[in-house]
Amino acid sequence: MHLLLYLSILFVGSTSAAPQVLYLNNFYAVATNTIWNVEDYSALYLPCFPVLTICFTTTNNDFITQKLSGFVYITSAKQAADTDFSVFVIGTDRKISINKKYSKLSRTVILNTLYDQSSNFYSPMRTSYVNNIQQDKSAKLWLHSDIPDDSYSQNPSKGSIFNNPIVFENLDNNNNVYQTEQFFDNIEPLQISFDYWYILSNGQISLTIEKKWDNSLVTNTTSKTSTGLIMNPVRGSFANTQVNFDYDAQNHRTTGMYFTSYIKSSIDVELYSTKSIFYEHFEGGQPVIGMQVSSQNDATTLFVNSSSVLPGMFSLQYFVIDGATV
């Protein structure tokens, strides 16, 4: 049943203000809730269920207000005027195409809506399923949690949860650092269960985003060189996960991960092969930002295990590169 609910919110303008997200169930009725520091000419987006109407009077009690599941996303005026800035609310399937000049960075914000959690304990509150990712080899793609700031000076890779291509740092014979890039033609479907997240990109990219949750705990990669994502939101429940790599037994392969976490409980990651096990332990309470590790142990399987069903937020971009040594 769709309910039409009313909430009293007053937005007060400002000459300069950062983007922000306001959860509607934090604003109780019977009084006007004043939101300061909202720029003139900024844009408002409301991904919510049930349907919400914002007005300036209300008779709702606090019980009804607490049932609101949506939030208000307020951009800056600069973002609202930017033709390379866009926002999509994922209530139904959306096919998104981004085709920008390579020197121009595009910002695409994704707002997830409430997902029905009744079918499975581990299902997230909000999620989107990203599939059919097609990326020109000259294009670059970075995925981030949260919302983009208004500085427009952001390093696209800083704080990202997923990158294509992946940049590797190497040492030459003189111990000098140099960088190489690995572009992945094949990207596995990505389950992204943040309330909101965004895409930074340049070049030609297309993808499909669905309001869908795939509860598979075992994934089989679909190419011998491929990359994908395992993640858990801050309030999400996590079940131990396994990825089986498609591989050619005659070829060596490099496997690894790009890891970011703000976990409360420990996470263990294993790259398993018949020869050896490459193992990383991440302790709760110790943030990790953009840690990159790789192994040449010819791994066939990735295991991600947690000591708790509520470990906290982490993202793990895994990769396998056939016939290569990074």
Residues 6+ apart with CB under 8 A from 179: 167, 168, 169, 170
* Secondary structure letter of residue 158 according to DSSP: T
Alpha helices (runs of H) in 163-282, residue ranges in sequence order: none
Find the range with the poorest average confidence among 17-26, 33-42, 118-127, 220-229.
Answer: 33-42
pLDDT of 205-253, one tens digit each?
999 998 888 989 999 999 999 999 999 998 889 999 999 999 988 889 9
Closest CA to 294 of 187, 142, 191, 170: 170
What kind and span of H or E run contains 31? none
Extended beta strands in 188-311, E state: 190-192, 196-202, 204-210, 218-220, 226-232, 241-244, 253-263, 267-272, 277-282, 288-295, 301-306
Question: Within a 13 Å sphere around the CA of 74, how many CA atoms are in the beta-carbon half?
Answer: 21
258 with 290: CB under 8 angstroms?
Answer: yes
What are the sequence ranges of the domains in the chain? 5-75, 82-322
Q: Which residue has the higher pLDDT, 143 or 112?
A: 143
Sheet of strand 241-244, all strands in order from the earlier edge strand to the far edge: 218-220, 241-244, 301-306, 267-272, 277-282
Of the pLDDT bands very low, low, confident and very high (cuts 50, 70, 90), residue 80 is confident
Task: Render the burial of 184-200: b for 16+ CB within 10 Å, e for the rest.
Answer: beebbbbbbbbbbbbbb
Of the pLDDT bands very low, low, confident and very high (cuts 50, 70, 90), residue 175 is confident
CA-CA distance, 11 to 29, in Å (whole number)?
Answer: 16
**pLDDT for 259 beyond 90:** yes
**pLDDT for 126 beyond 60:** yes
Q: Note the pLDDT of residue 51.
A: 43
Q: Note the pLDDT of residue 24.
A: 60
Q: Note the pLDDT of residue 3.
A: 36
**pLDDT for 54 beyond 60:** no
Closest CA to 88 of 101, 66, 106: 106
**pLDDT for 12 beyond 60:** no
Q: List the CATH code of the domain at 82-322.
A: 2.60.120.290
What is the pLDDT averaged over residues 60-78? 72
164 with 135: CB under 8 angstroms?
Answer: yes
Question: Tokens for 24?
Answer: 């509607």
Q: Which residue has the higher pLDDT, 23 or 48?
A: 23
CA-CA distance, 124 to 197, in Å (whole number)?
Answer: 15
Residue 201's DSSP bridge partners are 106, 141
Q: Note the pLDDT of residue 4.
A: 38
CA-CA distance, 155 to 161, in Å (whole number)?
Answer: 13
